[in-house]
Structure 1
């Protein structure tokens, strides 16, 4: 059986949320965001090694939350860095040496579909990588430096989500470089090695919770999921 891990990155302070509590700890339908995210990965495969990357100063607060909500899913805490790149690298460096595949996921995307997670591991095992994306619904235009704009064929573009799943040997080699400005996600770090990424279909509900409006929508999604069960 392939040894798999998931690194959930949650090092942000959530300044756009306008809350004294970081967004990853806010409750949705009675459960903090990160606990929902961890639970989805656990439900796909309880044997997946779960690694949660947090600011080191938040460790004790997180442990208090786990006690308060009686959250018992096994996971390891890893201290984040000064950027997402550094936080992911810290998570990769903490992996068990036998781990072959790793999914890297935004901790504040609690509504990723279980089918997307499963497919990401299957595709990464065969192709080396698997990046969840969705099609655009709106028309888009490209802006130029001189203030003009030009129509773009939206079918040629995709919105990138997580998980972004990789063969461990390759992604660890990719992250063993100096951080560059163009590293906007894990896929761009992987591509920097000259490797092509493989895209898979994500799910539209897999939003990245960033603003108060996102929290309102998250409550709606959670209520719908509960009524569909």
Structure 2
């Protein structure tokens, strides 16, 4: 497999919804910070040429220390992000040297090789791809605590990361978003804004984003359960 992929791991979040003083990417799961698990997953992927980690300005040295101790040779550098996730991705993009780029949340520690591969293959086939899973629950549109619409669940997908794009296209999308003072909720939204299509690759319901204490409890349970299965 050709090493033609740069990976931006975004580890610049805060612990506001987690209710902790510690930034959520540094919370430990089975003895390791969450963001290291994401880095290690992409470090094992055959197409990865370099990994760029984006974190808070005050956490750059700390992040570098974790990475050095964990021996992650594909990490090219750690850079300081911005006030919003979109700004942080843009800072990482400025250092990308590969023709293809994937962006991944540092707090999605359970990303698996088959999911990375699925996104990578779909990205190369269509030019832009995101991991996603069909929505299980009925979704309601609510205003002032009153339901005003019920979208067709069969057309709804929950979007995950990684998200993969041609580097030049994602960079252009970010530059145009900056110029227009536009803030999107994910990178695919910026690509869509250019009028380009984004394809979906099948993700996994286990590829959760650790955002709340309940998420962390589930993650610890998941690890313990799979460890017991492996030992039995």
TM-score by length of 2: 0.90
**Partner Cα distance (2:12, 2:4) in 1:** 25
Distance 1:31 1:86, change over 3 A: same
**Partner Cα distance (1:148, 1:165) in 2:** 35
**Partner Cα distance (2:223, 2:118) in 1:** 23
Partner of 1:83: 84
**Partner Cα distance (1:148, 1:130) in 2:** 32
Q: Name stretches of at least 5 consecutive residues in structure 1 with no aligned partner.
A: none
Task: Report if the CA contact (8 A) 1:134-1:201 is conserved.
Answer: yes
**Partner Cα distance (1:55, 1:181) in 2:** 22
Over 3 Å off, 4+ runs = 63-67, 144-148, 178-182, 224-229
Please give the root-mean-square deviation of Cα atoms over the aligned residues, in Å: 1.9
Q: Name stretches of at least 5 consecutive residues in structure 2 with no aligned partner.
A: none
Task: Report if the CA contact (8 A) 1:7-1:51 is conserved.
Answer: yes
Partner of 1:36: 37
Partner of 1:138: 137
**Partner Cα distance (2:229, 2:47) in 1:** 23
Partner of 1:165: 164
TM-score by length of 1: 0.91
1:181-215 Cα shifts (integer Å, max 9, x gaps): 55110010001110011111111011111111111
Matches within 5 A, 1:65-84: 65-66=66-67, 70-74=69-73, 75=75, 76-84=77-85
**Partner Cα distance (1:114, 1:125) in 2:** 16
Equivalent residues, number: 225
Distance 1:190 1:141, change over 3 A: same
Q: Per-residue deviation at 1:2?
A: 4.8
